Structure 1
Amino acid sequence: MDDKELAELLHLVSRRLRHLYVHRLVPLGLNPGQARALRALDGVERPLRMVQLADQLRIVPRSLTPVVDALEEAGLVSREVDPADRRSTLVVITPRGHAMAEAARGARREAGEELFAVLSDDQREHLRELLTVVDGQFSVGTPDRG
């Protein structure tokens, strides 16, 4: 198999994983961008400014606004004025948002389990090792893999 075929196969497998993940997010009322934002907010000790969250997600702030709007409307986050800089807005995850972030992580894990169910434990470990090597060469200064 040449590199072009390998790249195409990896792309197809990635699309299948995303499809399985999206299928599990729909009942939660989330899309992948919203789930990713929730995971980012759930993984920090303090609320993030909108600009910080956009940076962490590696998107432009104006692209984040509709994501936060939808999460706020669903009661998963709230916006607060940053007391350290009243011109900035903090995005605060709610208790319901923490629970939804955990549900989104579960959806992602289940999608992976379904996709890789055809592999033995040894095959999964070998694939993990190979993908880690490939990913490692690009790990510094590349877009978020979330």
Structure 2
Amino acid sequence: MPQDREITAPELVTALTEAVSPLLRHAAGVFSGNQVPFSQASLLTQLHELGAPQRMSALAHRNEVVPRTVTTLVDGLERRGLVQRTPDPEDRRAVLVEITEKGAALMREIEWGRQALADELVNGLTPAERVEFARLLTKLRTVSENDKECPE
């Protein structure tokens, strides 16, 4: 992109999309190779990032879906051996979902590739540019999250 003119919002979004596409394609390829649909992959990634068993109801709330939707997603992940349900020791009526070793291994494979691609992506940035890039991404995420909370 030329430095001597103002960059439009669509141009910035296109540049960002092109920059992160290899990361997304890698994860999609690993999930696809393991026959994990996108909706289930998203939930598995979330469970992995949260790092602890989660109540089904909390997952439904977090994803702004009805509990039945989470049940369907967990059913699919459970059939693949990627998650397991356990009773919640604090509430017999509640069920916890946790990632299995097989699910964790799949996520490690994705993270390994993502790390290599991320290193390649930001390799040309100075430490100061990385800090500024992180600041700008946080700002974009905050704006996006605020927009989600505002009713239209």
Q: TM-score scaled to structure 1, two decimals?
A: 0.66
**Which residue among 102, 121, 126 is the counterpart of 1:122?**
126
Relative distance call for 1:65 and 1:107 in structure 2 (3 A) is farther
Tell me the CA shift for residue 64 of structure 1.
2.0
Q: Percent identical across equivalent pairs?
A: 29
Render the CA deviation track for 1:82-139: whole Å, top value 9, x for unaligned.
Answer: 343333222132222222232233343345346x27x613296253343233334455
- 1:78 maps to what in 2? 84
Aligned CA-pair RMSD: 3.4
Contact 2:22 2:117 in 1 (8 A): no
Segments of 5+ residues of structure 1 without an aligned counterpart are none
**Which residue among 89, 93, 110 is the counterpart of 1:87?**
93
Larger Rg: 2
**Is 1:109 aligned to 2:105, yes or no?**
no
Tell me the CA shift for residue 32 of structure 1.
4.2
1: CA distance, partners of 2:90 / 2:114: 35
**Local SS of the residue matching 2:87:** strand
2: CA distance, partners of 1:23 / 1:113: 19
Q: Kindly indicate whether structure 1 or structure 2 has the higher relative contact order, using CA contacts under 8 Å at least 6 residues apart.
A: 1
1: CA distance, partners of 2:37 / 2:140: 28
Contact 2:23 2:118 in 1 (8 A): yes
2: CA distance, partners of 1:49 / 1:71: 15
1: CA distance, partners of 2:33 / 2:20: 21
Matched to 1:108, the amino acid is R
Q: Which structure 2 residues correspond to residues 29-44 of structure 1 after superposition, within 5 A?
A: 29-42=35-48, 43-44=50-51
Render the CA deviation track for 1:24-68: whole Å, top value 9, x for unaligned.
Answer: 3323443444333234333334x2111112233444433322321
**Local SS of the residue matching 2:42:** helix
Contact 1:76 1:96 in 2 (8 A): yes
Contact 1:40 1:56 in 2 (8 A): no
Q: Which structure 2 residues correspond to residues 4-83 of structure 1 after superposition, within 5 A?
A: 4-15=10-21, 17-42=23-48, 43-45=50-52, 47-83=53-89
